[in-house]
Every structure is written in C-alpha cells, then in structure tokens.
Amino acid sequence: MSNHNWKNKNVFITGANGLLGSWLTKFMVDEGANVVALNRDIVPKSILWSSSEEFAYIKDKLTVVYGCLEDYQLLERALNEYEIEAVFHLGAQTIVGTANRNPLSTFESNIRGTYNLLEACRRNNELIKAIIVASSDKAYGIQEKLPYNEDTPLQGNHPYDVSKSCADLISYTYFNTYKLPVCVTRCGNLYGPGDLNFNRIIPGTIQSLLNGESPIIRSDGSYIRDYFYVKDGALAYKMLAEKMYELDISGESFNFSNEIQVTVMELVEKIITIMGNDMMPEILGKAKHEIKHQYLSAQKARAMLGWRPRYTLEDGLRETIDWYKTFFHNKWT
C-alpha cells in the first residue's frame, strides 16, 4: 500500500477514452486528482462518457484536451498550461489487425506519439515528477525462453509489436540521456468492462453467446496468452506512479500479469461455462502475424513494488460478462 495523496495533483492521461484509460481516469478522479485527458475521438459508447452510475459523474470533473499524439505543440502546451506533474501515456493504436492493415498510422501514433510526449515532458521537466509509458508484452516479440521477464530482449516482429519495442526503447533513452522520470509497463491482453473492440476474443465471445451464435476463434485455438483484468491494470499503473514518488525506480520497466497460461480454446470454454451456454466455438485457423505463445513473469513487480493482482481470471470474467449483459440489454431496449 502507498501513502501517496493524489488530491489536487495535476495528472495528464493519454488514451483516456480507451479501456484501461477509462478505468485509470476513474480511479484518479476518485482520489481527487485534477485529471487532464487527451482525446482524439469522442466515442459515445466509451465508459468514460457513460451515463451509468459508476461513471456518470466523471465527465464533469475532467479537463479534456482534444487532439492527437502526433501534434507536438498541443502536447507541450497542455503539459505547461495545466502544470502537469504526473503523466500516464496509454494512448496508442492497440489492435494487431489494424496495425497489419495500416502500419504507417500505427507507427505514427505509437512511435512518434511517444517521442513527442516525452520531448514535451523534457521541455517541462521542472514540473514532471512521474511518467508511465504503456508498452506491451508484444514488445518482446517471439522468444524461445518463457515467461518473458524484464531482461528479455525487445524484438518485435510485426507492425504492432515493433511499434511497442520502439516506444519502449525511446522511453528508456529519455531516462538514460535526459534523466526524465520514466517507467515502462508491459502487460498482457487487457480485458474487462468497457472493451468495445469486439474483434478481441473475450468481448467477441461474449457478444456471440448473448446473440445465440457460435463464438469465432481466428486461430487454431492453441495460442497461449496472458489475460489481465483491466481493474488490476489500472490499479497497477496508479500504484507504480505512487512508488515513483517514494522510490528511486525511474528507468525501470515492470511486467504486470496474473501469471496464468491459458490457451484461446481454454479461455472460450471458461466463458461458455460461466455463461451456462453449450455453443461450440467455430475455429477458423486463419490468424496471421501473431505470436503463438506469450506469457509474463511479474516477479519484479511483486518484489520491488509489493504488487499483487486482486482478481482471478474467473472473477474478472464474471464481472465482465455481467457488464456486457447490461450493456447489450440497454442497447437493445
């Protein structure tokens, strides 16, 4: 536990509209932080703009900067004028399929966006106390030795993976050369309430089952992934920022994971069981440019930060399924 007090601290969150960003924004607002959110697009169905009791009050407490990470002048202005001291950089193009179709836009947002933000932080370094940059387990690329730990080389193979490897290394450069207070996070596949990317396996499977349809598995079902509940993710980011105020850990990277290996088929079967369904998945076996076997060690975060996940996979899936039931019920009624 941390004794850090976020009340009236000025915090900048990129990607605040996204799955992880929405929950992190909520947790920071709940602790009294002055949150400045960078938003490129307004996504009405994002939980950040939700009218649900859990989120409805948040939009009235936010300062929203409309723009994109590719706009350096906008980032520098926002950090300076709002006197930001803590930065959470979650904004990115996060979908592997989108990256494969259009690598240029992914490189622009994920690589250029990262060095733009870090340079803007460097120009405002007398104010900045903590910067957390969201990388990914994909930054490690294909490795023979698993689980990934923080010393595993960064060697992405495909457009999204490479964009994260690059952003990760750029972040370390800004610490190493300019002593900017940066830490990097690498998480597995985030899931949870509010994920509207239905091409992802968990929301897609739940949507199919609620529609009375067979879930679709793009791969052969044997791919192993690290599935990490979004609330655990948001709490991990908040805790890491708090530790940056207390400990000399700038320049470090941290994996966050519940350290459970699950195949896509096992995951889909868990969801089917929890939902009390008997639909069999349709296996396409068509996944391309994806890593077959990935999982993370979170030993460093446990040892250095005292971090622990709060949710099991089953707990997280149950909460997520309940949220989608409400979401689709409200959508259809």
Active site residue 223: no
Q: Point out which residues pair with 64 in neighbouring strands.
A: 37
For 254, phi then psi, to 5°, come to -140, 130
Contact present, 27 and 233 (Cβ < 8 Å): no
Contact 220, 283 (CB under 8 A): yes
The residue among 23, 71, 56 whose CA lies nearest residue 233 is: 23
Bridge-based pairing state of the strands 253-256 and 189-191: unpaired
The 3-class secondary structure across the chain, one letter per residue, is: CCCCCCCCCEEEEECCCCHHHHHHHHHHHHCCCEEEEEECCCCCCCHHHCCCCCCCCHHHHCEEEECCCCCHHHHHHHHHHCCCCEEEECCCCCCHHHHHHCHHHHHHHHHHHHHHHHHHHHHCCCCCCEEEEECCHHHHCCCCCCCECCCCCCCCCCHHHHHHHHHHHHHHHHHHHHCCCEEEEEECEEECCCCCCCCCHHHHHHHHHHCCCCCEECCCCCCEECEEEHHHHHHHHHHHHHHHHHCCCCCCEEEECCCCCEEHHHHHHHHHHHCCCCCCCEECCCCCCCCCECCECCHHHHHHHCCCCCCCHHHHHHHHHHHHHHHHHHHHC
Rounded CA-CA distance 234/26 in Å is: 9
Q: What is the pLDDT of residue 331?
A: 65
Q: Are 203 and 196 in contact (CB under 8 A)?
A: yes
One-letter amino acid of 309: P
The pLDDT assigned to 333 comes to 43
Q: Which two tokens stand for residue 310?
A: 């709060």
332: exposed, middle or buried (C-beta count within 10 Å: 0-12, 13-18, 19+)? Answer: exposed
- Segments making up each domain of the chain, as ranges: 10-190+227-258
Record the tokens describing residue 116, joined without a space. 């733009």
d(CA 218, CA 264): 10
Nearest by Cα to 82 from 28, 16, 38, 25 = 38
Q: Which fold is adopted by the domain 10-190+227-258?
A: Rossmann fold (3.40.50)
Residue with tokens 């409805």, as numbered in its chain: 56
Rounded alpha-carbon distances, angstroms, from residue 287 to 214, 221, 292: 18, 10, 10
Q: Considering 72, 115, 140, 160, which one is annotated as catalytic?
A: 160
Overall pTM > 0.85: yes
Q: Show pLDDT as tens, one digit a residue, over the chain (333 residues).
A: 556 899 999 999 999 999 999 999 999 999 999 999 999 988 888 899 888 888 999 999 999 999 999 999 999 999 999 999 999 999 999 888 899 999 999 999 999 999 999 999 999 999 999 999 999 999 999 888 889 999 999 999 999 999 999 999 999 999 999 999 999 999 989 999 999 889 899 999 999 999 999 999 988 889 888 999 999 999 999 999 999 999 999 999 999 999 988 999 999 999 999 999 988 888 888 776 677 888 899 999 999 999 999 999 999 999 999 999 998 877 644
- For 193, counting Cβ atoms within 10 Å of its Cβ (0-12 exposed, 13-18 middle, 19+ buried), the class is buried
Question: Please, how many CA atoms are within 13 Å of residue 18, restricted to the half-sphere of its CB?
Answer: 21
User: Which structure tokens are listed for 221?
Assistant: 């079902």
- Taking CA atoms, 329 is separated from 52, 199, 333, in Å, by 13, 20, 6
